[in-house]
Amino acid sequence: MVAAADTQTMKDYSSKEDEEEFMMLKKKAGGGTDVDQHVLKEVSRTVSLDAVRQLGVALDDNIGYLNGRVDFPILILRMDGEDLLDFIKDPSYESEMMTIFSSIGIHEKLYVKDYFMEAVKQLTVEHGMPPSSDAFVMNSIIQPSLKAYFKNVSGDSRGCVPDDDTTTFLLEEFEKFGHILVQHLKEEPIIVAHTQITFDASKIKKLLSAKSNLLEKALDMAVIETQKDPNSVLPCKEILLAVFDHLGPLTGLPPYGAIHQIDKSVDEILMKMKAEEDEEKMKVMENEDKVKYLKMLMRVLLEHIMLELEANKPISVSSNSVIHT
């Protein structure tokens, strides 16, 4: 439910003029005269991490590995409460909030404030909520909204959640709190830099099915790179992970250790492949045979990862950072 307003795609910037243009749009997104109200609610452009950081946006560490390697779309979102209000009015509101409250634990005997704080942390830009982890959002939007909510309620709503019909109580009261959040966002819109990176099997599939010997050459280079030091004896798993990292640009996957969802999948596959047993086999192999065997194992690993991503679903990683103007 990210802002559905018009989206303008802008060229990559590589000059001072481009940066100034972007800064002007960012400033307009935060407010302006009545004449400026038609300014796009959402601006999309592709920039490098370095360029984004120059604009004062601190992206999450879990996608920091892309720095200098890959460009990806950054959405500049003006969060003014409209999307949050749409979510509250949407038929999916009750089911999504029930899921959130269930994950918190509706029988934990928490105070209303605790439920609200935990629930708002699970709302995302998709719901129209800026990241609660940002101190400005917490101090200027969430805390004042809580204060306003408790000022206007009485009885049980101030303390513990009642035992009878807990879910209904939380849904109804959080909706009231949500409307107060909406009002605060209208009064003080938050500008958020949003990016989402999706890892799927498309590049691996293309690489494995390519008629050219690109994969073969890449594997040769990667294996040679890991075998540079003849005195070092690495476990089979470590060698495969090193090769996996070298192939990253061709597979469209991040280095091992960057994204835990990918790491988990790779670990499970290597366990099924019984890399420890392969290590024992390679100890008695000649170097040439060892290289061939490693290349074969790497192909098997890539095939399994491809099937895993196709069978389940692509893995997405997102980052949301408030731009402080």
Each residue's pLDDT tens digit, 149-180: 988 775 555 566 666 678 888 899 999 999 99
Q: What mean pLDDT do residues 277-305 have? A: 79
User: Above 70 in pLDDT, residue 214?
Assistant: yes
Q: What is the pLDDT of residue 41?
A: 40
So where are the chain's domains? Answer: 7-79+191-199, 84-188, 202-314
List Cα–Cα distances, 122 to 1, 100, 142, 210, 266, in angstroms.
15, 7, 13, 42, 28
List Cα–Cα distances, 3 to 38, 79, 185, 282, 316, in angstroms.
14, 8, 14, 55, 19
Q: Which residues contact 174 (CB under 8 A, 6 or more apart)?
A: 97, 115, 116, 119
Q: What mean pLDDT do residues 219-224 have? A: 79
Three-class SS of residue 198? strand
Q: What is the pLDDT of residue 236?
A: 76
Average pLDDT taken over every residue of the chain: 74
Three-class SS of residue 77? strand
Sign of torsion, CA 106 108 112 114? Answer: negative
**CA-derived radius of gyration, the chain:** 25
pLDDT tens digit string along 57-96?
555 544 544 444 444 567 778 899 999 999 999 999 999 9
Contact in structure between 131 and 321 (CB atoms under 8 Å) = yes
Longest CA–CA span in the chain (Å) reads 79
User: Above 60 in pLDDT, residue 247?
Assistant: yes
Cα separation of 171 and 279, whole Å?
56
Contact in structure between 122 and 171 (CB atoms under 8 Å) = no
CA nearest neighbour of 189 among 25, 6, 20, 28: 28
Three-class SS of residue 189? coil
Contact in structure between 77 and 42 (CB atoms under 8 Å) = yes
Q: What mean pLDDT do residues 190-202 have? A: 84
Cα separation of 199 and 210, whole Å?
20
Q: What mean pLDDT do residues 206-222 have? A: 81
Contact in structure between 43 and 7 (CB atoms under 8 Å) = yes
